[in-house]
Chain A
Amino acid sequence: QKEVEQDPGPLSVPEGAIVSLNCTYSNSAFQYFMWYRQYSRKGPELLMYTYSSGNKEDGRFTAQVDKSSKYISLFIRDSQPSDSATYLCAMTPRAGGTSYGKLTFGQGTILTVHP
């Protein structure tokens, strides 16, 4: 079983739709959760960073973490064609020792928002 599971899609939605992207994980030690966006021929760009459970909102983006269910989500409201990219979830336990800097990534979900 992979430590982090993410549906690779592809996911295609019309402009203006609400998009829901999800990851599940098996390691209960994960404490820090991130979402990255990666455009074609570019490196991953940090979108959201959260610690432990709860919600975080930034403009049209909302990140949710449910540690009891080992489930994280990224919601995109009023999606735009410019949101078309691959979205990667990533997570890490508390840093230290062999866990230092060790992000575990999902496979990424390819999203297309069509006009």
Chain B
Amino acid sequence: ETGVTQTPRHLVMGMTNKKSLKCEQHLGHNAMYWYKQSAKKPLELMFVYSLEERVENNSVPSRFSPECPNSSHLFLHLHTLQPEDSALYLCASSLSGNQPQHFGDGTRLSIL
């Protein structure tokens, strides 16, 4: 069983909906990340949190809004998404910034 759990595993939403993705890590790590994985493209880093503080926002559109209430939980709030936002969204955690990152199994997001 993975130490990083993501819910839901699949999500279909319309362009005007609001939804949230959830990530929980049970590894005692201090850093958490959101990535976007699209077909035939490298993983794209979206957000980095260290000890609940955002340290990186990788030029992500404002329709994606992250929240990190504590070092074990990470959310990605979604609103008015576009069809090109359909992708696999992966959460990861690490002990610190240059330690290996451990990934969840992702949320497969489809925008109608």
Contact = CB atoms under 8 A, between A and B. Distances in A.
Interface string A39-61: 00111111001000000000000
Given A43-B104, A44-B90, A101 B42 contact: no
B97 A99 contact: yes
A34 B41 CA distance: 18
Contacts of A36: 103
B78 interface: no
Contacts of A41: 105
A110 to B, nearest CB: 10
A10 to B, nearest CB: 12
Nearest to A100: B97
A105 interface: yes
Contact of A100 (B50, B100, B102): B50
A8 B40 contact: yes
Interface residues of B, number: 27
A92 B31 CA distance: 15
Contacts of A32: 98
Nearest to B91: A43
Contacts of A4: 42
A107 B98 CA distance: 21
A102 B2 contact: no
Given A34-B100, A95-B98, 6 more contacts: A41-B105, A43-B104, A88-B43, A92-B97, A100-B97, A101-B31
Interface of B: 2, 4, 6, 31, 33, 40-43, 45, 48, 50, 55-56, 90, 92, 94, 96-98, 100-106
